[in-house]
């Protein structure tokens, strides 16, 4: 009852409006949510070549990359997707978008039957891309960690959110291009307890995949720590 009363009062004094159509009631209404196209197919993580075979997520040119592949729920080219992610990641930092954005990822795994990749569960770990302390305090939460919490519950996969840490303050990747992104994120991550990752299949959670510099750098560190495979999971890719 307390929760219902609280929500009732919040709806009265702080009504929510859909970021898609402006209709009052929800931060994203069902009509707008179901207009977002969910990807049921796969691309080479680095060259965008279509891949429809689960075990071959990268083309022959990129098999030597640290990141084994990418699970992306939708396209960042969709205006509504951009609006949702920007409001989640930047001011006004709408943490309430965690559930609808996580639902897009879950829908992708179910439609593509990719959920099987998490098995055996004891060999898989979900790891959110970490933030440096001041950035997390500024935002109030780590958006990748919030999504990882929901995925962990839904797929019954262990969440490891304090072992991969960010040790270097970097510029926002959104402000940089190509090689600048690689230089910016180089040596930014560190593993505190490598034994936890040894022989495991790691799924790194982030919001958007652009050039892949962040996920690739994190994958290198995790592979060096002994991870058997490292996969990326994002809401959207450009």
pLDDT digit string (tens) for 121-161? 999 999 999 998 777 888 889 999 999 999 999 999 999 99
Is pTM beyond 0.85 here?
Answer: yes
Task: Quick: pLDDT tens for 52-95.
Answer: 544 556 777 777 889 998 999 999 999 999 999 999 999 999 99
**Measured between alpha carbons, how far is 17 from 23 in angstroms, rounded to an integer?**
5
Q: Is the pLDDT of residue 45 over 70?
A: yes
The yes-or-no verdict on residue 36 having pLDDT over 80 is yes
Does residue 130 have a cis bond before it (omega within 30 degrees)?
no
| Per-residue pLDDT at 5 | 58
Determine the CATH number of domain 38-237: 3.40.50
Average the pLDDT over 36-44 and give the result: 86
The two tokens of residue 223 are 């592979």
CA dist 43 and 114 (Å) reads 14
Q: What per-residue confidence (pLDDT) applies to 193?
A: 97
Return the domain boundaries, the chain: 1-35, 38-237
């Amino acid at each position: 009852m307390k929760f219902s009363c609280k929500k009732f009062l919040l709806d009265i004094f702080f009504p929510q409006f859909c970021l898609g159509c402006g209709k009052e009631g929800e931060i994203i209404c069902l009509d707008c949510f179901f207009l977002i196209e969910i990807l049921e197919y796969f691309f080479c993580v680095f060259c965008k070549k279509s891949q429809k075979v689960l075990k071959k997520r990268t083309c022959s040119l990129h098999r030597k990359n640290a990141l084994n592949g990418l699970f992306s729920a939708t396209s960042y080219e969709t205006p509504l997707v951009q609006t949702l992610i920007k409001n989640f990641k930047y001011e006004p930092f709408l943490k309430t978008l965690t559930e609808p954005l996580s639902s897009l990822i879950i829908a992708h795994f179910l439609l593509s039957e990719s959920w099987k990749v998490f098995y055996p569960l004891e060999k898989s770990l979900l790891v959110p891309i970490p933030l440096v302390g001041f950035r997390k305090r500024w935002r109030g939460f780590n958006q990748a960690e919030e999504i990882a919490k929901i995925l962990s519950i839904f797929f019954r996969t262990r969440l490891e959110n304090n072992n991969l840490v960010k040790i270097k303050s970097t510029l926002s990747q959104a402000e940089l291009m190509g090689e600048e992104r690689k230089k910016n994120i180089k040596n930014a991550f560190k593993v505190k307890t490598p034994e936890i990752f040894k022989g495991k299949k790691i799924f790194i959670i982030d919001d958007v995949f652009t050039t892949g510099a962040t996920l690739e750098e994190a994958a290198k560190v995790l592979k060096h720590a002994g991870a058997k495979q490292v996969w990326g999971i994002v809401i959207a890719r450009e």
